[in-house]
Amino acid sequence: MSEEKEGEMIELGTKDFIKGKPFRVTDDDLEKRWGSPFRCQLCGHWFKAGDEGRWVYANFKDSPFKGGDFFVCGGCDGEDVLERAGKIREESKRTHWWLWHMVDVERENARHR
């Protein structure tokens, strides 16, 4: 990676992620809880120290991805990452509807616990 790009990186956990800049995973990052598994939304890669990643801002009106902000690894990142993530999500709802059904049931159950 060029030094120029390294200089544009942000610290994970700051609001800077909205600017769309990547981060470099540190050991500290791995210790923290981010409210969701620390994995790439597209390929499932578990982040490890030294990896490049980005926290993709997706929680806006008319976002092509209707699942909230998410992490993406350097290998999967790209300008069309929101469209690709949205497509995967919609496709999985169509083909893996039973899995989504189970998630919904689980959520319902949790609500009544």
Q: How far is the CB of 70 from Zn ion (least distance, A)?
A: 11
Site string for Zn ion, 61-80 (x = CB under 5 A): ------------x--x----
Q: How far is the CB of 48 from Zn ion (least distance, A)?
A: 13
State which of residues 10, 12, 25, 40 lies at the interface with Zn ion (CB under 5 A): 40
Compute the distance between CA of residue 20 and CA of residue 18 in angstroms, rounded to an integer: 5
Compute the distance between CA of residue 102 and CA of residue 14 in angstroms, rounded to an integer: 34
Instruction: Name the amino acid, one letter, at 111.
Output: R
Give Cβ neighbours of residue 78 (< 8 Å, ≥ 6 apart).
Answer: 84
Under the rule (CB under 5 A), what is the footprint of Zn ion?
40, 42-43, 45, 73, 76
